[in-house]
Amino acid sequence: MTLPSLDARQHTDADPERRTYEVRTYGCQMNVHDSERISGLLEDAGLDRAEGTVADVVVFNTCAVRENADNKLYGNLGMLKAVKDARPDMQIAVGGCLAQKDRETILRRAPWVDAVFGTHNIGALPALLERARHNAEAQLEILESLDVFPSTLPTRRESVYAGWVSISVGCNNTCTFCIVPSLRGKERDRRPGEILAEIEALVADGAVEVTLLGQNVNSYGSEFGDRGAFAKLLRACGSIEGLERVRFTSPHPAAFTDDVIDAMAETPNVSPQLHMPLQSGSDRILRAMRRSYRSTRFLGILERVRDRMPHAAISTDIIVGFPGETEEDFQATLDVVEQSRFATAFTFQYSKRPGTPAADLPDQLPKAVVQERFERLTALQDRIAAEENAAQVGRTVEVLVTDQQGRKDDRTHRLTGRAQDQRLVHFTVPEGASVPRPGDFVTLPVTEAASFHLISDPLPSEYALRRSRAGDAWDRSLAESCGAPTPGTTPSGSVLLGMPSLPARSTAP
């Protein structure tokens, strides 16, 4: 059994006369969300999302965090040069963190690029493309700080049942491995009323889940002098009717306070799930990383979270092989991982990121050492994840059905969704039972577990389907993609949201 994917329904009704666009996204969720805005801006400017062929406008939304990001970008730009030589009207734009960092270098190394824009001026893209076309000259515009909060821009949402909502951009911390502070600037917080208005508009359009997004959500409010602002925001989300799941990423262990734990535990629609980046279990390495918490504080947070939410699924990020990391330091990381019982861990091998303080530190470790430690860490975490998932067998979970498919779903005819704590669940619809749509909810027992997912093969009596507004919105978007667009949607039937059309909301939580 397969569900139609969002990709499958994109632009079946595209107008052949209109120009098309494609956004190629690299990097983190912040970039994924920025790409939704880039798509919204281009659709607002009259472009259609491309199907199959190379688009008339190709935008690279780049990331500077990964090693060799620039080589990959120039490789991709090189491949597009031949296409552009054959189609001179085609335009190429480069934005995101690498553009913010490399600026003129991009136009020097790839002079066939038409526009370069930074992380602070996404909204300028349509104007830059238009200017480049009119003047027949590449346009470069990078701002040092934010002019307009990105959430005020039109957004082409990738999902009808779930959405990202930015609460802040930038970061006031100075972790030595991270390029974000120099590329995204100091933290800027959005006012709570604006955030809640965007969430309400998303929910009115059918979404049942939102993820609040910021580089460091726990310092949210510092710009307008309210240290309790994030906990208040979570509680305010609790009173938005129709909003069934609230998640957030990323918190920071140094700034994570008990009022947030209380708000999570006491607000029923906040998911029992926490992504808490550890980075290292060695206090010496945390100091070198300029991360101001220590391992005991980190473990204390997890204990308090589990005290209030015993079934919370906790995930993390860990960097292996930071400069100067000894075997003893690494062992400290293994010890913290063993005690933390993470449901999932995103593990990274340290690699130099030009422009970060850690890139100049002595004692960079040989690749072989980093690789060997990485394998030990992932083996440990895989074992823990398998044990934690095995403990879920027998539990009844409510799953939000998604349009994503597991690798084996075609073969097993299972559908896929996420439990309330975000665990991935592949499930069978019992013979004769109603099939859910993406955005609907099913309640069923966990019958099997593996390291990275749960399986449910329920009996008919164990399976309950709850149709939702999000499922209705999914149906509408499918119907619209096959017919004439309805007011308030883009020609593709995708959801086009922009703050200017949102209902005004002046009350802060």
Residues at the binding site for [4Fe-4S] cluster are: 28, 63, 97, 171, 175, 178
Look at residues 308, 320, 450, 305 and name the one whose alpha carbon lies nearest to residue 376.
Answer: 320
Q: State the greatest distance between any 2 C-alpha atoms of the chain, in Å, as a whole number.
A: 67
How far is CA 227 from each of CA 17, 89, 233, rounded to the nearest angstrom?
Answer: 52, 51, 11
- The least CB distance from residue 412 to ligand SF4, in Å, is 38
CB of 326 to ligand SF4, least distance (A): 22
CB-nearer residue toward ligand SF4: 175 or 233: 175
Known binding residues: 28, 63, 97, 171, 175, 178
**Coil, helix or strand at residue 350:** coil
Question: Of all helices (H) and strands (E), which one includes residue 415?
Answer: strand 415-419
Residue with smaller CB distance to ligand SF4, 168 or 492: 168
Dihedral (C-alpha) 458, 4, 489, 34: value to the nearest 10 degrees?
90
For the CA atoms of 97, 102, 106, 109, the dihedral, rounded to the nearest 10 degrees, stands at -140
Residue placing its CB nearer to ligand SF4 in the complex, 356 or 477 = 356
What Å distances lie between residue 185 and 215, 233, 352, CA to CA?
Answer: 11, 23, 21
Q: 79 vs 346, which CB is nearer to ligand SF4?
A: 346
Tokens found for residue 331: 């062992």
Q: Which is nearer to ligand SF4, 358 or 455 (CB)?
A: 358
Cα 234 to Cα 267: distance, rounded to the nearest angstrom: 7
| Strand spans (E) along 132-189 | 139-141, 155-157, 162-166, 168-169, 188-189
Q: What's the closest the beta carbon of residue 389 comes to ligand SF4, in angstroms?
A: 28
What are 430's two structure tokens?
């019992």
Please count the CA atoms within 13 angstroms of the CA of 479 that sit on its side-chain side.
Answer: 7
Going along 80-121, which residue ranges are E strands? 91-96, 115-117
Shortest distance, position 293 Cβ to ligand SF4, whole Å? 11
Looking at the Cβ atoms of 161 and 350, the one nearer to ligand SF4 is 350
The closest of 123, 109, 97 to 181, measured between CA atoms, is 97
3-class state of residue 360 by DSSP = helix
Strands ordered across the beta sheet of 209-213? 162-166, 209-213, 245-249
Radius of gyration of the chain (CA): 23
Nearer to ligand SF4, 175 or 285 (CB): 175
221 vs 458 by CB, closer to ligand SF4: 221
What does the chain come to in residues?
509
Question: Which phi and psi angles does 108 have, rounded to 5°?
Answer: -70, -45
- CA distance linking residue 388 with residue 348, whole number of Å: 22
Q: How far is the CB of 252 from ligand SF4 (least distance, A)?
A: 5
> Nearer Cβ to ligand SF4, position 91 or 316?
316
Q: Tell me the closest approach of the beta carbon of residue 247 to ligand SF4, in angstroms.
A: 18
Chain centroid offset of residue 116 CA: 23
Please report how close the Cβ of residue 222 comes to ligand SF4 at its closest, in angstroms: 13
The least CB distance from residue 455 to ligand SF4, in Å, is 34
Which residue, 166 or 216, has its beta carbon nearer to ligand SF4? Answer: 216
CB 417 within 8 A of CB 400: yes
Smallest gap from residue 484 Cβ to ligand SF4 (A)? 44
Q: Shortest Cβ distance from residue 145 to ligand SF4 (Å)?
A: 16
| Min CB(248)–ligand SF4 separation in Å | 14
Nearer to ligand SF4 by Cβ, of 64 and 236: the residue is 64
Question: Phi and psi at residue 383, in whole multiples of 5°?
Answer: -65, -45
Helix 295-308 with 258-266: angle, nearest 10 deg: 20
CB atoms within 10 A of CB 15: 11
Which residues of the shown chain bind ligand SF4 in the complex (CB under 6 A)?
171, 173, 175, 178, 180-181, 215-216, 252
